[in-house]
Structure 1
Amino acid sequence: MTKLSVNINKIATLRNARGGNVPNLLTVAKDIEEFGAQGITIHPRPDERHIRYADARDLKNIVTTEYNIEGNPNQKFIELVLAIKPTQVTLVPDAEDAITSNAGWDTIKHQDFLKEVIQTFKSNNIRTSIFVDPISTIIEHAAKTGTDRIELYTESYAHNYSLATTAEEKEAAIAPFTKAALTANSVGLGINAGHDLSLDNIRYFKENVPNLLEVSIGHALICEALYLGIDNVINMYLHKLK
């Protein structure tokens, strides 16, 4: 079964909107795990507009499943991850002013930098993953950095799948990701995925991406939970990921 890691950034956004502690981020994280999610993901940004660095530290004592911290590996982020030692760190090349992640790493151009950062994390027994577009050459060079996994950036799949009205159009939406997964399998990389995955498109993605280990879902899951309830939504995802 593909694991479900729930990104709780949007819970922090809602809390921060009123300046208090409602909803309580730590309580929500514990509840999400009790509802069946196999991981908690956070993506702290330098301006702390949703997840705060203090949240990242506090969650270390709360999360009992897999703890995944995403972010651009600047010095402050590296120091945070080394202090917390989560299960996994996912390296994302997002600009400081980015609303959300919008591109994967160029693992050719940044290979030396990624090697150095990844070695630092792996020497501290932290599993590493690199956020990448579904491009075979990029994935082949990702393997040369020493990373354990890649995370496929799935925005293009989600967009094209939402427009698809025929089986052929659905196949065209997933084709780059199936090919990317086969490349990752061939070079010994584990496969994660995330960005705009939802209840509408997750099953087809899972069925067509071989050896998909984990998906990280936040925005869509929280939006769906507004109508259906978070316990119910998590279990709907788990059913589709079996």
Structure 2
Amino acid sequence: MENSCESIAFPLISSGIYGYPKAEALRVATSAIQDFLVDHDIEVFLVMFDKAAFDVSKKLLGEVKAFIDENYVDDYVDYRRQNQFLQVELDAIKAADADAPKSIIFEEMKTGGLEDLVGDLDEPFAETLFRLIDAKGKTDVEVYKRANLDRKLFSKIRRNKGYMPSKCTAIALAVAMELSLDETDDLLERAGYVLSRSQKFDVIIQYFITSCNYNIYEINEVLFSYDQPLLGG
């Protein structure tokens, strides 16, 4: 901070030839970094050479595995989240006169239905995000730090009302605000995403949210152990 650095990277100090236990070194490092970031803005990276440093709680991994086994489905379709426009099309066709030529039905949809849909869009992601931050009584700084996000990225979201985040970023923000599963689903929908039971990444996220465990570092450790993308960035 004295040298106005914007980022810094550390190895897992003393866990190499000095033999300090890797799991304990990781716990100390992440704890120190979290405490420091409460009052400072800087990107901090921990550099790992392999998974040996990640000694995730066997109890936690067992609970996550059991949740995945119970909820993961290879070919799952969430019918609650079918494309709304497709549903409007189907409803329009069903309501149309069965004897009317299909060309007439679709012509009516083109001239009225689509324009109505485009003119009646849901609240965009960014507006929903900042409304939720206020509703949850949190600050911008608290949220982007708990989400493990860069301040510049968060500022970009704040400035651009039409900003569309990556799925990992959207989920990280939901975790930072400690949203329920329904609230998370709603926020993700506004960015064009869903949590599917056909994706292990999504099922793991569902486990942590339903368990009310919003520790993003712990979530990332489990995601890492399953070779899944990490939250934040």
TM-score clears 0.5: no
- Structure with more helix by fraction: 2
Q: Which has more radius of gyration?
A: 2
- Structure with more strand by fraction: 1
TM-score, normalised via structure 1 length? 0.25
